Amino acid sequence: MTSIYGVTKEQLEQYFTNLGEKKFKAVQLFEWIYRKRIHNFDEITNIKKTLIEKIKNDFEIDDLKIVSKKEDIDVKKYLFELKDKNKIEAVLMNHDYGNSLCISTQVGCNMSCTFCESGRLKKVRNLDASEMILQILKIEEDLNIRISHVVLMGIGEPFDNYDNVIKFINIVNEPYGIALGSRHITVSTSGLVNKIYEFINDGKQVNLAISLHAPNDELRSKIMPINKAYNIKELITAIKQYILKTNRRVTFEYIMLKDVNDTDECALELSNLLKGINCYVNLIPYNETTHIEYKKSSKDKILKFYDILKKNKINVTIRREFGRKVNAACGQLRSNYEEGL
């Protein structure tokens, strides 16, 4: 049966129209689902009972099971179980600007980035839009909070699940749905250039982040196999086109790996690569895992890297570290659970 959380308002309008009903019923249903957060269609009082019975036959109000929840300072990490018993993760981070939730878009990941725990356990399947929506709803309900920002940067490559991600954005952005503003939604990609162009044409005004992590093809291809399909030149060309079309600033994510991509030479190369681009670089201290040999760059190395970018007029920030005590590296909680650790 179709999950009600995976249906857009436009699809519901068409559904009611096909039944000979007024399309404003879609707004009414959305308000019950997303504002009043009902768990049973029988709770609806402003739609006639015969129509409620039809809705119950065609849709379900489903749920996610919380398998575990780990907490550290300003961070909570959830491990969810899906209907098919697969596991996914979501991480809630408390910032001074609000509650930011990093959600998963796939069960596993096929990008095989060598530093990433998610890619160690290969992609099983895509998540439906409903399974992405439910990560937000379940955590808001569990903690009785309002999530102010959503980042598609958990397990999976969002643009490898493009259609479901776009549907998710439409539902989250819908004023009668979760009603999260476009600028409070960020999609991260490892560099699927063909999908970046599709994203440009779709005209979504959400934020775009690029997992770059290296300033040249030789190094990036070693740690990110996607670079062999779409090299840095192709990626930067697509990003420039995105900025031209949207007039939006792009974020480049850069994980700091000890003695791999944290040298002064890498900082200078990165500065030259991004010069003149409307962007900023987010330097990310690496979250070490038990399965992967990479180590986190020292604080001094990160600060020196930061200074070189600054001196070359590149906008740069250093991401605050979250959740080292709660297996906050992407995919780490899931992989430990699957392997009985």
174-208 per-position pLDDT tens digit: 999 999 999 999 999 999 999 999 999 999 999 99
Q: For residue 80, what pLDDT is reported?
A: 98
**Pair 147, 268 in one domain:** yes
CA distance readout (Å), 235 to 111, 115, 329: 16, 20, 25
Q: For residue 144, what pLDDT is reported?
A: 97
**Pair 245, 312 in one domain:** yes
Helices (H) and strands (E) in the chain, counts: 13, 14
| Closest alpha carbon to 120 in 339, 337, 341, 335 | 335
**Pair 189, 135 in one domain:** yes
279 is catalytic: no
Range of the domain at 24: 2-60
Q: For residue 340, what pLDDT is reported?
A: 44
89 is catalytic: yes
Given the residues 141, 330, 338, 339, select the one marked as catalytic. Answer: 330
Domain containing residue 241: CATH number: 3.20.20.70
Pairing of strands 75-81, 87-95: antiparallel
Give kind and range of the element (H or E) at residue 280.
Answer: strand 279-285
Backbone angles phi, psi at 43, to 5 degrees: -75, -15
Task: Identify the bridge partners of residue 275 per DSSP, sorted by sequence position.
Answer: none
Q: For residue 339, what pLDDT is reported?
A: 41
Given the residues 13, 89, 198, 218, select the one marked as catalytic. Answer: 89
The series of mean pLDDT values per 10 residues for the chain, 341 residues long, is: 97 98 97 97 97 98 97 95 97 94 97 86 94 98 97 97 98 96 97 98 95 98 98 98 95 98 98 97 92 92 98 96 56 46 38
Asked whether 161 and 127 are in contact (CB, 8 A), the reply is yes
Q: For residue 281, what pLDDT is reported?
A: 98
Single out the residue in 60, 85, 106 at which a domain terminates. Answer: 60
Domain containing residue 7: CATH number: 1.10.150.530
> Structural domain tally of the chain?
2
Q: For residue 218, what pLDDT is reported?
A: 98
**Pair 172, 42 in one domain:** no
Pairing of strands 87-95, 98-103: antiparallel
